[in-house]
């Protein structure tokens, strides 16, 4: 049984505004994606989780059915939360784990390379370069998520500059980011940051397998490939026993590129051998 995660980033933004959504109306975006994925999705998955931009979480959770394999997740939570008879929610501009649970989320994405880059950039603006500090902030987010009852997809991975020290980088991200965490609620996504983006060469099978083995030597968690599960690499990734699933972003990378629920189903079916 495999796990599939889908990160929709800001795929809701209409093309007329510079995004990749074909619809100029974003009000039903979450519902439309859930309904689209429900068509012919496979029962041979242990989990199918979609991480939505925050504006679409309510319509997505309302579109879910009680017997759905589809779970809805948010793309992050704040590092602090409501305290009963204490802080009632003074977190302007930030959404807390409890608020996301109240909306109906079941999962949260934490430590994505874009989040790590953002937090590192804030520290750099203060003249501080400290990736361990970034992982400490992420650890606070993970603790809030666990406390709220959310499951976690926790991302780790190395940049081009960090490749020569990959084991140290990833082990530090796991050690600090998941310190004192109930790991039964955590899945790890491996993101080869150096290989993500147009024109970049993805890692080969041996590199991915070696990295998954490394991660599992540090934490007893399922590991999914976070560098982009797509039609072109689905069979290769499926052949790696240490890989327990994948993270899908775009489904089409040329022409009218974007995310298409029917093409997402095609990727999933090819990955699990139902093609």
Provide the annotated active-site residues. 112, 191
- Cα 230 to Cα 1, 194, 227, 247, 259: the distances in Å are 18, 18, 10, 9, 11
Q: Is residue 79 within 8 Å of 95, Cβ to Cβ?
A: no
Q: Is residue 250 within 8 Å of 258, Cβ to Cβ?
A: yes
Interatomic CA distance for residues 262 and 36, integer angstroms: 7
103: how many CB neighbours lie within 10 A of its CB? 16
Interatomic CA distance for residues 253 and 55, integer angstroms: 25
Backbone conformation region of residue 253, classed left if phi is above 0, alpha if psi is from -120 to 50, else beta: alpha
Interatomic CA distance for residues 224 and 212, integer angstroms: 8
């Amino acid at each position: 049984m495999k796990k599939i995660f889908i990160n929709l980033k800001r795929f809701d933004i209409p093309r007329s505004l510079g995004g990749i959504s074909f619809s100029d109306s974003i009000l039903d975006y979450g519902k439309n994606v859930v309904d689209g994925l429900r068509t012919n999705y496979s029962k041979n998955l242990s989990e199918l989780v979609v991480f939505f931009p925050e504006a679409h979480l309510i319509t997505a959770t309302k579109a879910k059915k009680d017997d759905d394999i589809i779970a809805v997740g948010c793309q992050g939570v704040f590092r602090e939360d409501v305290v009963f008879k204490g802080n009632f929610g003074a977190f302007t501009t930030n959404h807390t784990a409890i608020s996301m649970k109240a909306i109906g989320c079941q999962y949260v994405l934490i430590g994505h390379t874009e989040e790590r880059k953002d937090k590192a950039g804030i520290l750099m603006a203060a003249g501080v370069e400290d990736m361990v500090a970034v992982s400490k902030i992420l650890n606070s987010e993970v603790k809030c998520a666990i406390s709220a009852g959310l499951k976690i997809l926790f991302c780790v991975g190395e940049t081009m500059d960090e490749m020569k020290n990959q084991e140290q980088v990833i082990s530090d991200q796991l050690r600090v980011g998941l310190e004192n965490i109930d790991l039964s609620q955590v899945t790890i996504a491996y993101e080869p940051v150096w290989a993500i983006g147009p024109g970049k060469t993805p890692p080969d099978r041996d590199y991915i397998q070696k990295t998954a083995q490394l991660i599992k030597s540090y934490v007893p968690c399922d590991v999914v490939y976070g560098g982009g599960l797509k039609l072109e690499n689905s069979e290769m990734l499926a052949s790696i026993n240490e890989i327990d699933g994948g993270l899908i972003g775009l489904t089409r990378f040329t022409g009218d590129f974007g995310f298409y629920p029917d093409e997402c189903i095609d990727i999933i079916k090819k990955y699990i051998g139902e093609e």
